[in-house]
Amino acid sequence: MKTGKMKTNKNLKYWLGFSKLYSIGTIHLKKMLSRFGSIEESWHATASDLLGIEGFHSSTINKFTEEKKSLKNLEKLEEEILEKNIKVITLEDENYPSYLKEIYDPPITLFIKGSLDYVNQDNCLAVVGSRKASHYIQEVLKKIIRDLKNTDITIVSGLATGVDTCAHSAAVDNGMCTIAVLASGFDHIYPASNKQLFRNIVENNGAVITEYFPDTQPLPMRFPRRNRIISGLSQGTLVAEAGLKSGALITANLCLEQNRELMCIPGMVTNPNTEGIHKLIKEGAAVVTRAEDILNLLGWQITSINNTLNKTVELNLLDNEKKIYDILDLGEPVMFDKLVEKSKLSVDELMTTLTSMELNGIITQLPGQKFVKNLN
């Protein structure tokens, strides 16, 4: 999918103008384009011109008229985009993502930082989940994405903390394309803690996109709207941990409405953040425990997939290391005192062994002197 250079013809300013309006969304704009034939004629439509178009009530027409008055200088909107080096794709462009265009209300414009040049839009996977992702789900998710290394699969997510951050970071670390979809404009990267991740995505052949003009702030109401783009770009959505009231469930429902494949990574029943997952599975969502499940469910024929699929990495552990490894669990952290009790090792022996295992990436120490083993 090639984005090329941003258009600078006379039509772009009208698309940018519509992207600033609250009164006219994609559905209304499509009806205007059908009636008037072009984006320029649609912009200059008068109140009397709009009368009689289905769905255009007097309140909508009045708001449209008032909002246009506040946007007298469309050329200034275009200049701002050019100055900030932001690419734009509009609904009329041939390179507008085809899967996204299929949804009920695709964005009028897409603002882009980075590049979509390396994206195979037929192989996009959305990954969403809890902002309070457990160590367990992060390890599972990192392994699944690592096993998709050397493929042209693109990971799509929302740049939020937790699962989103894990998915984007794992994609970048494994040389895969990733697309982050914002619920704000580029002047307000949210959360601020992910500004470096934003840069990493842009600098590693990925893209950060949004439907919002640069000065748009990340208000709560914009996140559910953002989610339709995440699922709309993708052939399938993978949910990795989600509570019953999680925003990830909104994306899951949008995925089904868009007639795309919904998949879930099962979690521990003792974790409240998995209640939404198990609800989705009971309602028919597919279960994913390994990368190959995703390929099979989506019918993706990937010949270059990493040979680590279905392969267990053998660990050459010393006796004390094996003893500790067998005690530790992937999901439930084990306290230091409990390890002393179960391993029968002295405190000094245990500390030395734990330090060695952590340095070798076999285990991770969590706050409060808790330890958990990593997924190989």
Specify the pLDDT at position 313. Answer: 44
Is residue 3 over pLDDT 50?
Answer: no
pLDDT of residue 314: 54
Distance CA 63, CA 245 (A): 34
- E strands, 140-235, in order: 154-157, 177-181, 207-210
Q: What pLDDT does 5 receive?
A: 43
Mean pLDDT for the stretch of residues 299-328: 69
Residue 8's pLDDT band, with cuts at 50, 70 and 90, is low
* pLDDT of 303 strictly over 70: no
pLDDT over threshold 50, residue 76? yes
Across the beta sheet with 370-373, what order do the strands follow?
334-335, 370-373, 363-366
Running DSSP on this structure, what letter comes out for residue 204? Answer: T
As a whole-number percent, the residues of the chain with pLDDT over 70 amount to 93
Confidence of residue 362 (pLDDT cuts 50, 70, 90): confident
Q: How far apart are CA 362 and CA 376, in angstroms?
A: 8
Q: For residues 267 and 370, what is the distance between their CA atoms, to the nearest angstrom?
A: 20
- Residues 187-200: what's their mean pLDDT? 96
Kindly report which listed range (58-67, 311-320, 340-349) carries the lowest average pLDDT score: 311-320
Using pLDDT thresholds of 50, 70 and 90, give the confidence band for residue 331.
low
Give me the domains of the chain, ranges plus CATH numbers.
Answer: 12-85 (1.10.150), 124-298 (3.40.50.450), 319-373 (1.10.10.10)
Q: What is the pTM of this model?
A: 0.82
At 254, list the tokens: 């949008």
Plot region of 4 (φ>0 → left; ψ -120 to 50 → alpha; else → beta): left
Alpha-carbon distance 41 to 35, whole Å? Answer: 9
With 80 as the cut, is the pLDDT of residue 257 above it? yes
Q: What is the pLDDT of residues 122-179, one digit of tens each?
A: 999 999 999 999 988 999 999 999 999 989 999 999 999 999 999 999 999 999 999 9
pLDDT per position as a tens digit, 11-25? 999 999 999 998 999
- Answer yes or no: is pLDDT of 307 > 80: no
Helical packing angle, 195-203 and 163-173, nearest 10°: 30
**Cα distance between the two ends of the chain:** 34
228-265 exposure pattern, b = at least 16 Cβ within 10 A, e = fewer: bbbbbbbbbbbbbbbbeebbbbbbbebbbebebbbbbb
Element housing 165 (H / E): helix 163-173
pLDDT higher than threshold 80 for residue 206: yes
